[in-house]
Amino acid sequence: MKIVVREFDAEKDYQGAQKVEAMSDVGGSGSGISLTTDLLGDLTSRVRHSPPYLMLVAEVTYSEEEEETVRTEIVGVIRGCVKVVTCGKKTDTQITSTKVAYILGLRVSPNHRRMGVALELVTRLEQWFREMAGAEYAYVAIEKDNEASVSLFTEKCGYAVFRSLSILVHPVFRHHINTPRQVVIRKLESHQAEELYRLHFSTTDFFPLDINTILDNPLCLGTFLAEELGGESWAAVSIWNCMEVFRLEVTGVSKMKRGLAKVTRVLDRMFSWLKIPSFPNLFAPFGCHFLFGITGEGPLATDLLTALCTHAHNTAREGGCELVVTEVGSSDPLKSGIPHWNVLSCDADLWCIKRLSKDGGGVALWTKTDLGQTIFVDPREV
Ligand SMILES: CC(C)(COP(=O)(O)OP(=O)(O)OC[C@H]1O[C@@H](n2cnc3c(N)ncnc32)[C@H](O)[C@@H]1OP(=O)(O)O)[C@@H](O)C(=O)NCCC(=O)NCCS
């Protein structure tokens, strides 16, 4: 048996790679409950909005001695994309930036695990990041409980955990939520949003310098600004339509629990004025919206952010989504303004980083410097 790692060929490899995706759900906790992802027929959908990007496959060739005919099988996949982001220490006049590569969608089929396939996929992707894309760092986000992946990246591949983020998830109810009267919410033009973000995130780690391409992407449903009537506080948030990129589905939940969840939704729809906090339908393929670019200033910034999240909830409801998701640094000062359900959220998304280039330079010690509390989470990488 020989394993070859090569670039994904959509025409030739789609079925094999899709099979690996379907077999390698992330989040199976041993309880039988898992989260499956449907990439809607485009296996590069989570990276192709951040060029340059690459998807690799690991292909096994079974030799004639092992089987009657030569047969090949895709047993692993990985994706990566590269961008320039702000980083490290800055002065008032100078912004430091670096080229970082993001690794995502690593999957190895259960029958071929612990054979070094993931290690080879990561090594080959890093080689491309370094030699072809000129990236200085590579990073990956891993759920704390994913022991296999944490061990792979931190023990075998030389990554260091540098940040813990919180994934905050709010259900979309069947009823509309009213926003407070004293709050004015308006949609910004994309150039206004760009200006605001370039100003406020200029010293935030991981702020992508191509923010304009994110804001102009059709998946970006807009940037919204909330202001307090007659006050000085404000908050802003942008909405990304993940529903057009992938659908999720929770499987392995008992019929009884699914039935109870449905009852809450039926009651919520029938008696919408009661504002029943119904449990969303996560047991059939569903879509979500992702909130990014969360920022604000003033004593009431968190309250205004809560109002913006309410607005985002209503937008998601109109768009047929079941969840509104966001991700912030665990100690982000605005975190308390983001409504979420703990049962659906994850408080330990570990960001692990590795320096790829060997030469010195201004950002050589980025991972060792004190990072700020706020971090920019790129919606293209969700
Ligand atoms: C995580 C995953 C990709 C690992 O794939 P793999 O091909 O089995 O990994 P490798 O054989 O290359 O393992 C390399 C190292 O990773 C670590 N590792 C891999 N699987 C592990 C496990 N189940 N438990 C603990 N460590 C593990 C070990 O350090 C291993 O080295 P060793 O075998 O010498 O001890 C695979 O388990 C998988 O597809 N899981 C589901 C999807 C997922 O979680 N993806 C990661 C998202 S970030």
Tens of pLDDT, residues 328-357: 999 899 999 999 999 999 988 999 999 997
Nearest CA to ligand 1 atom 30: 152
> Do the Cβ atoms of 93 and 111 come closer than 8 Å?
no
Q: Say if ligand 1 is within 6 A of residue 152 CB.
A: yes
For residue 363, what pLDDT is reported?
42
Output the pLDDT for position 93.
60
Between 373 and 47, where is the model more confident?
47
pLDDT category of residue 69 using cuts at 50, 70 and 90: confident
In this prediction the pTM is: 0.93
Model confidence band, residue 281 (pLDDT cutoffs 50, 70, 90): very high
Residue in 29, 113, 150 to alter for ligand 1 test, most ligand atoms within 8 A of Cβ = 113
156 lines ligand 1 (CB under 6 A): yes
Tell me the per-residue pLDDT of 239-255, one tens digit each, with 9 for 90 and over.
999 999 999 999 999 99
Largest CA distance in the chain: 80
**Residue 24 Cβ < 6 Å to ligand 1:** yes
20 lines ligand 1 (CB under 6 A): no
pLDDT category at 25 given cuts 50, 70, 90 is low
Give me ligand 1 centre to Cα 20, in Å: 14
Residue 305 beta carbon below 6 angstroms from any ligand 1 atom: no
- For residue 364, pLDDT beyond 50: no
In a mutational test of the pocket of ligand 1, which residue from 77, 114, 142 has the highest number of ligand atoms less than 8 Å from its CB?
114
Residue 84: what pLDDT? 94
pLDDT of residue 361: 44
- What is the SS3 string spanning 194-224? HHHHHHHCCCCECCECCHHHHHCCCCEEEEE
89 vs 238, residue with greater confidence: 238
Cα(113) to ligand 1 centroid in Å equals 7
| Averaged pLDDT for residues 200-211 | 91
The answer to whether domain 2-163+351-362 and domain 170-346 are alike in fold is yes
- CA nearest neighbour of 95 among 219, 202, 200, 254: 202
| Residue with CA closest to ligand 1 atom 17 | 152
The model's confidence at residue 359, banded by pLDDT at 50, 70 and 90, is low
Pairwise pLDDT comparison (50 vs 364), residue with the higher score: 50
Beta bridge partners of 165: 329, 349
Candidate from 26-35, 40-49, 113-122 with smallest mean pLDDT = 26-35
Average pLDDT over every residue of 32-59: 91
CATH class of 170-346: alpha beta
Closest atom, ligand 1, to C-alpha of 155: 29
Q: Domain-by-domain residue ranges, the chain?
A: 2-163+351-362, 170-346
- CATH match for 2-163+351-362 among 3.20.20.140, 3.20.80.10, 3.30.420.40, 3.40.630.30: 3.40.630.30
- For the CA of 113, the nearest atom of ligand 1: 8
Amino acid 66: pLDDT: 61
Closest CA to ligand 1's atom 10: 116
Q: Which atom of ligand 1 is nearest to the CA of 142?
A: 48
